Amino acid sequence: MPPLAARGMAGLLAATVLAGFAGLRGVPLAVPEGRWPALLTAALLNVTAWMGLATMGLLYLGAGEGAMICYTMPAWTALAAWPVLGERPSARRVLALLLGMAGVGILVTSGGLALDWGKMPGVAMILGGAILFSLGTVWFKRHPLGLHPIASVAWQVGLGCLPLALLSPLLEGFDPGSVSPHGWAAFLYMAAVPLCLCYLTWFAALAALPAGVAAIGTLATPAIGVLSGALLLGEEVGPRQALALLLTLAGILLAIGEGRRKEARA
């Protein structure tokens, strides 16, 4: 399944399911007056740019190289949150960020990113997606949508994936009959878990925590990838991977500890 078709169609399915779930729960889907510009901006930054650019960038880069660039996102979020939200990074948060980024760097690199001009389009797209997603994180904190979390995710995922689905016929060919049963199962998983459950938990965390602290939690993603690879694919977990996991988890624990202290002071 081509990347834009996979992401766009899965997102539209996820948004439909979430909207139906909101209806069953009695959650209003109506967008408050005057909030459409903020909603469209959030959808374009948090979904369209992030998923579209990151997915297309992997056509030019390996998975490890792409992950290395994608997970610079917490650093961009922390930088953007300072001037926009006034979230001055504490020494503890800076240390958490450095530990987490060091863990990710060890985890996803083997010899560094080769300066290959054939890869530069992928580097530009994935780096652009990470920066734009970070801006979306800060935008969401600065401009609350006034929507229930379920309704907010349904709108953002649906509106954000619609351009990807519309661009797919223009940029790539897609034959549904060529997709295997395992491929369709993976498609349904992508719609149900990353695009429904994970976006719900992300925006819930973003509402409860400072933007920089919430972003550091995403550093767990490559760590989970290593463990999943070992359990499901038989990939080796050696000293290098173990050190990366320890650094990443240490950064997350520091970030969680800061969030709890802020709640206690409030």
Phi, psi of 173 (to 5 degrees): -90, 145
**pLDDT value at residue 256:** 58
CB atoms within 10 A of CB 211: 25
* 245 vs 106: CA distance, rounded Å: 9
**pLDDT value at residue 244:** 73
CB atoms within 10 A of CB 221: 15
For residue 181, give every residue at least 6 positions away whose Cβ sits within 8 Å of its Cβ, in sequence order, or none: none
For residue 247, give every residue at least 6 positions away whose Cβ sits within 8 Å of its Cβ, in sequence order, or none: 99, 100, 102, 103, 106
**pLDDT value at residue 99:** 80
Tokens of 98: 């450095």
* 252 vs 155: CA distance, rounded Å: 29
pLDDT, tens only, 150-202: 899 899 999 999 999 999 988 888 888 899 999 999 999 999 998 888 888 88
243: exposed, middle or buried (C-beta count within 10 Å: 0-12, 13-18, 19+)? Answer: middle
Using 70 as the pLDDT threshold, list the residues of the chain that sit under it. 62-65, 68, 104-105, 107-117, 212, 215-217, 219, 222, 225, 233, 235-236, 252-253, 255-266
| Residue 21: half-sphere exposure toward Cβ, Cα within 13 Å | 18
Domain count, the chain: 1
Q: Which amino acid is at 48?
A: T
**pLDDT value at residue 114:** 46
Tokens of 140: 């969401």
- Domain of 113 in residue numbering reads as 3-265
Q: Are 147 and 32 in contact (CB under 8 A)?
A: yes
The DSSP symbol for 176 reads: G
Q: Are 61 and 119 in contact (CB under 8 A)?
A: yes
